[in-house]
């Protein structure tokens, strides 16, 4: 994931973040997190070149945001992000601190 530009002002400001993931071509890849109320079908990553490199830009609010990828209905950690936090289900979520 990559931080890009800020949008908005004050406590509701958000940042445009690029999330990236490598998966099998023709997979269904989504991202869910605190920034979209953990909706597993709202934000789908795209594989524009059909080579298994998925990406999506998301406007993410400031603060600590937790997330996971969903690949073909399986919830997965982001292998590119080692920042992890135990969740209430006894598994882990990735997190980013958006400044």
> Which pLDDT tens digit goes with each residue over 46-76?
999 999 999 999 999 999 999 999 999 999 9
Q: Are strands 43-44 and 29-33 parallel, antiparallel or unpaired?
A: antiparallel
According to CATH, the topology of domain 2-98 is Immunoglobulin-like (2.60.40)
Dist. CA 46–CA 90, nearest whole Å: 30
Residue ranges of domains in the chain: 2-98
CA angle at residue 35 from 30 to 36, to 5 degrees? 55
pTM greater than the 0.95 cutoff: no
Neighbours of 99 (CB within 10 A): 9
The DSSP letter of residue 88 is T
**pLDDT for res 10:** 55
Q: What value, to the nearest 5°, has the Cα angle with vertex 41 and ends 98 and 87?
A: 55
Q: Give me the percent of the chain exceeding a pLDDT of 90.
A: 85
Q: Is it the case that residue 5 has pLDDT exceeding 80?
A: no
| DSSP E strand stretches across the chain | 2-7, 14-22, 29-33, 43-44, 53-61, 63-71, 74-76, 84-86, 92-98
Query: Would the pLDDT of 77 be above 70?
Result: yes
């Amino acid at each position: 994931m990559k931080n890009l530009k800020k949008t908005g002002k004050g406590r509701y400001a958000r940042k445009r973040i690029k999330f990236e993931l490598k998966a099998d071509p023709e997979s269904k890849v989504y991202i869910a997190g605190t920034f979209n109320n953990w909706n597993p079908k709202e934000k789908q990553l795209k594989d524009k070149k059909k080579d298994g490199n998925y990406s999506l830009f998301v406007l993410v609010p400031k603060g600590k945001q937790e997330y996971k990828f969903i690949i073909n209905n399986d919830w997965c950690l982001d292998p590119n992000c080692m920042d992890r936090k135990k969740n209430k289900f006894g598994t882990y979520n990735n997190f980013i601190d958006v400044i």
